[in-house]
């Protein structure tokens, strides 16, 4: 297994308002934490399949966070506030997912794991 290092895209940081540097620092800290978590997951995995299952759990967490920030956008606009930070965080999580899928060895296994979970969920639903 290759090491995976996630990062905050430069264009995303450039799009943040200059007067508030805390958002960029928060994003950097969050990605550092995700890199540590990812390293622990990959070290603990016995094989690529186990790693893919653990990474898919992380991706599902990213997807949930992306959806949560996406839901803030219309609400902020309705209140006449700028959604720039919600959009930035939403885009960060989407980019982190894309960064994980850029690793060929992992992308195939992630797709297989996601399909296996769909089938497993479908079987459980039909058994009820």
- Cβ-Cβ contacts under 8 Å for 67 (sequence gap 6 or more): none
- Give the range among 2-6, 40-44, 108-112 with minimum mean pLDDT: 2-6
In a domain? residue 119: yes
What whole-number distance in Å separates Cα of residue 40 and Cα of residue 34?
Answer: 10
In a domain? residue 13: no
Q: Give CA separation, 56 vs 26, 47, 85, in Å.
A: 24, 14, 26
| pLDDT reported for residue 18 | 84
In a domain? residue 85: yes
Q: What is the pLDDT of residues 46-63, one digit of tens each?
A: 776 788 899 999 999 999
What whole-number distance in Å separates Cα of residue 89 and Cα of residue 43?
Answer: 28
In a domain? residue 11: no
- Residue-number span of the structural domain to which 119 is assigned: 48-128
Number of domains the chain contains: 1
Q: What is the pLDDT of residues 69-100, one digit of tens each?
A: 999 999 999 999 999 999 999 999 999 999 99
Is the torsion defined by CA of 117, 122, 125, 127 positive or negative? negative
């Amino acid at each position: 297994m290759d090491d995976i290092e996630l990062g905050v895209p430069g264009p995303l940081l450039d799009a943040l308002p200059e007067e508030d540097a805390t958002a960029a620092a928060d994003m950097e800290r969050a990605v550092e934490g995700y890199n540590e978590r990812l390293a622990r997951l990959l070290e603990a995995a016995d094989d690529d399949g186990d790693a893919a299952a653990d990474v898919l759990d992380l991706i599902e967490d990213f997807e949930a966070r992306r959806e949560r920030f996406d839901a803030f956008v219309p609400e902020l606009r309705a209140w006449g506030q700028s959604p720039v930070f919600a959009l930035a965080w939403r885009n960060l999580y989407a980019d982190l997912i894309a960064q994980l899928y850029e690793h060929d060895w992992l992308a195939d296994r992630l797709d297989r794991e996601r399909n296996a979970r769909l089938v497993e969920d479908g079987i459980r639903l039909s058994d009820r």
